[in-house]
Chain A
């Protein structure tokens, strides 16, 4: 049976200026979990990519809504939920970048989500009944 996780949570307006404080919470949770520096860096980058996407594309320009992060440090894993109230965006529909294309054809599209999928063990998306998006990132502690 899973013991109750230690939870770290924060909510801020979805602005670029909010990113440092959101990411600082990820660092705090990683430190609490005793993650190795490489794993902590992976987690921070994955969360930055998801949050940056909400900040840049989630809400209409000039009308940023909230972004909330909840980090559960479980015995065996870290589970991070990033929630917003923006229109539904399911990352499984993000373009898959061609990483073998020669430089003139190389596109940046989808690179953020590609990184997220490589940096954590699982990525899932849900659309809650009240609207918005809930992206859950999970990374094993070992």
Chain B
């Protein structure tokens, strides 16, 4: 049986000066992807358009998760910001590669590097 925690996902949002870091814990799949998309949308609607997703504690994503990543990235860029990924774990990286997402999303080894990649100032 799948343990109950496998169905859950924790989202933690940390607003820095010019970047918002969204730390995710758990699987991003059909059960959880919509909630994650809502969390990103909420930030974008508050003009927090420079987003970093900390994926260090995400062991698994399905195409539902890819849909969320793609729509968030498009939305952020259209608003003049960007959506960047930090600490992508090997199983998730494999899915990003199989889907051709590594060519269009900006990936960084850790949160600090992703945050530093945004120039200071702005939202």
Interface, chain A (partner B; CB < 8 A): 16-17, 19-21, 23-24, 27, 38, 41, 45, 48-49, 52, 55-56, 97, 99-100, 102-104, 106, 108, 111-112, 114-115, 118-119
Contact = CB atoms under 8 A, between A and B. Distances in A.
A120 to B, nearest CB: 12
A100 B100 contact: yes
A111 B1 contact: no
Contacts of A118: 98
Contacts, number: 70
Interface stretch (B12-20, B47-55, B60-68): B60-68
Q: Which of A104, A111, A118 has the most CB of B within 10 A?
A: A111
B30 A52 contact: yes
A41 B2 contact: no
Contacts of A104: 74
Contacts of B100: 97, 99-100
A21 B7 CA distance: 11
A23 B62 contact: no
Contact of B2 (A20, A97, A114, A119): A20
A100 B103 CA distance: 8
Given A103-B73, A114-B99, A115-B95, A20 B63 contact: no
Among B2, B63, B100, the most chain A Cβ lie within 10 Å of the Cβ of: B63
A111 B99 contact: yes
Interface of B: 1-2, 6-7, 29-31, 60, 62-64, 66-67, 70-71, 73-74, 77, 91, 95, 98-100, 103-104
Main secondary structure of the interface of B (DSSP, over half): helix
B58 to A, nearest CB: 13
Contacts of B31: 16-17, 19-20
A12 to B, nearest CB: 13
Given A21-B2, A38-B91, 7 more contacts: A17-B31, A41-B60, A55-B30, A103-B77, A106-B104, A108-B67, A115-B95
A19 B99 contact: no
